[in-house]
Structure 1
């Protein structure tokens, strides 16, 4: 192969990640250049990591440093320079999925073994691009295969070199090894110091660190499929495991919104029963479940459904109290601002991770359906928070004329049905008009208003009304002629 893998990643990944960036552009570009060979070296020594990251919707640095979060902090401090570490981490996070995409294309396969073979084929270019400080990092991460090779090995010298040069080499090799060992010991010492700083002082209880119980909240729609899900835990590894379980049980490709930090406990009470409980909840219409501490709360639009579900779950969670409530009376109000902010942020990230040279219609639809377009009452003006997301989608659609979208408008059941249908049509058309204004071919778009005809939640509650007021995207790929809709149960052929 004639390509330089590092140059290829700089061309295909850096350009996408840094598009639209205005702050620290040069520093972030340089950091990505240093990060690519480090990431490839980690993949080479840990092929199983490739598979784990491929299963993540948004793979992050945290997934790489799962067993050594202190080392991640050290790494970010080293690579960030003058850039705030939070901003740098976000930049590097966005690059991981794109790097995997390039490796898959170049290797001709998504198999980790094929990607590792590709890296090995280009190992000379990868190792030469490694920054000088990366050796200690890779060693600390367990990259024995990497650290055991010379990262900046000079070409073999001719046999005519004199004995004096060989003596110098014999002196320098132990010196270099000593320097590497010193750097590694310094990293370990700093990591240990960081851990000590978080330990309780003067006998204070450890609850000052993790004082919130782990929490799982989810709800189903009218067909019993997953509609919303939030997960909070201090154990990032378990979050990943539970995410996969939820995606599999509900046939849902996006899973939960998740938050992992030290404020939350690392384990759920009776957490081994969670998969079995999920299977029981699946198929129950308009139900919600909250698993927090030693209490499991079940709510349903139909009280009989909630009672039956509680009776089936109670034997599985012997250390918990199962409570039932009627959703239309006691469901807590939706934090609409938080839900919209999370959805819109996820949509922006998903669109940014689409390879502009390999655009799939389903990827655009999935990303757009993550956002929440919350129109003002009786208005059809697109909120400012959604315009940047639609701008990203428009840029992709202009590059992919085979992609066609049907924009579907829905309302709640408050008010006159005919008025609601007209309003939903206007809102869907407003989205179409905005995309066309950004340069999308009008032939790629169609607006349809359904009014209150297709609810996904109970219209008798404020929470249900919020869920029903929505814009959805249905995709027709002219290459296949197959219409696919992204709904509460994943992808549905029509």
Structure 2
């Protein structure tokens, strides 16, 4: 199966940029993942920028955003998270040159036309990887993300030098004609430039309902939260409410753009609704426009919450929803794609220079989809573990921790036992393939560390997972690689 274009870019560039990094690895990896499709969208719209960046020894984010300093700052505000913006910007700066090298290699040329053709061929992948908020940002930059902007250049004017036989009185006339033509061209260019912001403003002002999404885990505490709103003052108030009610230091992911409404319908009752939500396990709440939908792993919880909320949110339509089914086909496709990506990543590791982080990165690309209540490793995943065993036998400095997780359906103690057994099954298989048992450890967490809402089958599927964490005993650095990126852990105490 062919690797997705953006995924291939991440594999080629992120490892270079993050090599040797130890601080804020998660935030830096997330920022890179957001930056790649935005960078490629801008380059596709402005191929002249490709040549400009290629000529620079150290291209920077400011070069990509040009004179739009406020948009650059807005972008950094969105992607920096809790990390210092200067560190995030330096990381993104370092990613531009290797990204351009990747494009050159893929296009087989440094010609901007060839690179733009490559970007056009992979436009679907680029658009699919764009963060939800990126459309407004690109529109503000004058980039038509939906169709891929074609830059129209003025036709080249070729002025033939007059031959000596031309009469001298023709020269002033020709000069006057050329001057008039240049003035007309400059006037038209200025007019187009002045009109561009008006078009952008129309795009940004397109109304979208404000949105609040909140989900809880098996203990009823906050797992995910997102706010989309064009009102920084109320956004800060709502953030503080979320932090206080759920005793959560981070609160919600928040995006503030002009294409969202500036207030929620019945927004005064949102804090009261959040207090009702706290403590109710595995619930997903979406507040969009005048619609408030509630999903829960236990349908009775959803109905009870809806009946409590309706008298408060009188202008909202409060509904309960049955979670959409995750089909066998969806699961099989996700598993197959993940295994293919893991195989390619393992094959790319140099057996003479094995990095602990590379092994964990590849292993975490795969989905090990155990059958219900089973600890039998699926046959499809064994080829990945076989390749891993070969590499680990050549890298005795690498220690691997296998971490088992389950969804929140069923008894919590039984789930924790099952997760330990599944992690141990992976360890036992690697040992059977020749890995030193001293390099391996199994830990079961049950449903204690969800990465998605347990209120939906899709979220439950994501939570039933095996993760891998590596320790390089030569350096004492412990790192895990999760869907969100690379996470550095505390080194073990001696």
Q: TM-score range by the shorter chain?
A: 0.3 to 0.5
Q: What's the TM-score, normalizing by structure 1?
A: 0.41
Structure whose alpha-carbon radius of gyration is higher: 2
Question: Please, what TM-score do these two structures have when normalized by structure 2?
Answer: 0.41
Greater RCO (Cα-Cα under 8 Å, separation 6 or more):
2
